[in-house]
Amino acid sequence: MLTIAIDMDEVIADAAKKLEAWYQRDYGRVLTETELYGKNLDEAVPSLHAGVFHQYANTPGFFRDLEMMPCADSILEQINKSYGLYLVSAAMEFPNSLKDKFDWIEEKLPFITWKQICLCGSKSIIQTDIMIDDRIRNFRSFKGRKILYSAHHNMLETGYERVNNWREIEEKLL
């Protein structure tokens, strides 16, 4: 059975949507798709505001109620039957997220056991056969098949196998 590591934020859970909503709440500005194309959130706002997204993401509770990416739960359930599935998140970047992420998985993806959850620092230790992630930095030392999940910040990256949504993951892997 092939093993697969799947990232959480911007792949399974829509963290960017909530970060953008909180930015709108605090600064009254809606960030458009055009403004965000090829950029991280902190690059798309005035430099004075660049630090707020890190603050938001480290707020206890932030990750507890994120929206599921469309169809991610049902397709993950199928993948879980055919692959050795691991959810891998560099959650140590936001230490307050750890319990929220665990509780979120337990609630929304009850077929995932604790042994399949890797909340870590660097993903350079991951040696699965396949990795799905929105951050190309996580592919640098990865030796398996790399699948880039489209997000506003990676739209200018070329040279990677890319998926735009979970239906495309389903087509490729199931």
**What single-letter amino acid sits at 60?**
P
CA distance 151 to 2: 26
68: Cβ contacts below 8 Å, ≥ 6 apart: 12, 13, 14, 108
The only residue of 4, 5, 6, 9 in contact with Mg ion, by rule CB under 5 A: 9
Question: Helix (H, G, I), strand (E, B), or coil: what is residue 155?
Answer: coil
What dihedral do alpha carbons 134, 47, 35, 140 form, nearest 10°? Answer: -20
Question: Helix (H, G, I), strand (E, B), or coil: what is residue 16?
Answer: helix
Q: Which is nearer to Mg ion, 7 or 100 (CB)?
A: 7
Give the shortest CB-151-to-Mg ion separation in angstroms: 7
The only residue of 5, 7, 19, 101 in contact with Mg ion, by rule CB under 5 A: 7
Q: How many residues bind Mg ion (CB under 5 A)?
A: 4
Q: How far is CA 60 from CA 51, 66, 98, 136, 142, in A?
A: 17, 13, 9, 27, 31
Give the shortest CB-135-to-Mg ion separation in angstroms: 5
Query: Mask: binding to Mg ion, 104-143, rule CB under 5 A, as x and -?
Result: ------------------------------x---------
**Binding flag, residue 20, Mg ion (CB under 5 A):** no
Q: Which is nearer to Mg ion, 29 or 108 (CB)?
A: 108
Q: Which of residues 78-107 bind Mg ion (CB under 5 A)?
A: none
Q: Which is nearer to Mg ion, 10 or 100 (CB)?
A: 10
Q: Which is nearer to Mg ion, 7 or 20 (CB)?
A: 7
CA distance 54 to 156: 23
The only residue of 4, 5, 6, 10 in contact with Mg ion, by rule CB under 5 A: 10
Instruction: Compute how many other C-beta atoms are within 10 angstroms of the C-beta atom of residue 61.
Output: 10
**Binding flag, residue 14, Mg ion (CB under 5 A):** no
In the complex, the residues that contact Mg ion under the rule CB under 5 A are 7, 9-10, 134
